[in-house]
A = this chain, B = another copy of it.
Amino acid sequence: MTAPLIELVDIAKHFGPVIALNGVTLSVEAGECHCLLGDNGAGKSTFIKTMSGVHKPNRGEIRVDGEVVSFSSPRDAMAAGIATVYQDLAMIPLMSVTRNFWMGREPERKFGPFKLFDFATANRITMEEMAKMGIHLRSPDQAVGTLSGGERQTVAIARAVHFGAKVLILDEPTSALGVRQTANVLATIDRVRKAGIGLIFITHNVRHALAVGDRFTVLNRGKTLGTARRGEIDAEALQDMMAGGRELAELAGSLGGTV
């Protein structure tokens, strides 16, 4: 068996008095979609920020292709092939799609002694990549602010994929989307997975997770509650793990419905 693409072991992270993570372990294989579920404030965002070099963990180690690494900035993590699409700030609405797409990794061409942003190439590739994802742009100069929420998420995913991410982390890409747009994003996830990239898909929504996930890890109050494979677990069980299930069962009982 080959080493997983990325492996995080016993990660802990404190913010002053707040213990956001307290021993979380997780690994991602190539071509797998690993869903990270958890209640609000469970520490999901903190965990993936640790993985992508934004925070330094207080404890634990990160292994990429079996080797222990230490990221001191998001650039390091990206260089190691870990790309992240963050919850709210995937894109800058005031900037054009091309500028957003290439942000931080602009292609350059020589112009005498100077290096210029190679817009011709950038625009062409952007349009191509967007078309592959099923997004039709009026022009690559179009500001991201004029796109819908689902389109923005897709641009962010396309960007990460294009830059050769080995591991792609999506922080609640569907939380602000409607059903139709969600379906679009889930289809994109599936497509990316089939290309052999490892995915970490963070969500609250058990149904979304079950639709595309291969493995499921549940976080609760900064701790891993366990990891299950697809087929080993059903929606009810996952829901239970996320919140302890007790209140929900009680609530469902007292309201006479299913939650």
Chain A residues in the interface with B (C-beta under 8 A): 38-42, 148-150, 175-184, 186-187, 190, 204-205, 207-208, 210-212, 239, 242-244, 247-248, 251-252, 254-255, 257-259
Contacts and interface: CB of A to CB of B under 8 A. Distances in A.
Top 3 A-B pairs ranked by shortest CB distance?
Answer: A40-B178, A39-B178, A179-B243
A208 B40 contact: no
A247 B183 contact: yes
Given A207-B258, A211-B257, A254-B190, A40 B183 contact: no
Contacts of A248: 179, 183
B247 A180 contact: yes
Contacts of A177: 40
A143 B210 CA distance: 39
Given A186-B251, A186-B259, A211-B255, A239 B178 contact: no
Contacts of A257: 210-212
Contacts of A42: 178
Contact of A149 (B40, B210, B254): B40
A149 B175 CA distance: 15
Contacts of A180: 39-40, 243-244, 247
User: How many copies of this chain are found per oligomer?
Assistant: 2
B247 A38 contact: no
A137 B259 CA distance: 28
Contacts of A205: 205
Given A38-B178, A183-B248, A190-B254, 20 more contacts: A39-B178, A39-B181, A40-B180, A175-B176, A178-B204, A178-B243, A179-B204, A179-B239, A179-B248, A180-B243, A180-B244, A184-B247, A187-B251, A187-B254, A187-B255, A205-B205, A210-B258, A211-B251, A212-B255, A212-B257
B179 A211 contact: no
Contacts of A190: 254-255
A180 B251 CA distance: 11
B211 A259 contact: yes
A252 B208 CA distance: 10
B183 A39 contact: no
A164 to B, nearest CB: 25
B175 A175 contact: yes
Which of the listed residues A42, A179, A242, A243 has the most CB atoms from chain B within 10 Å of its own CB? Answer: A179
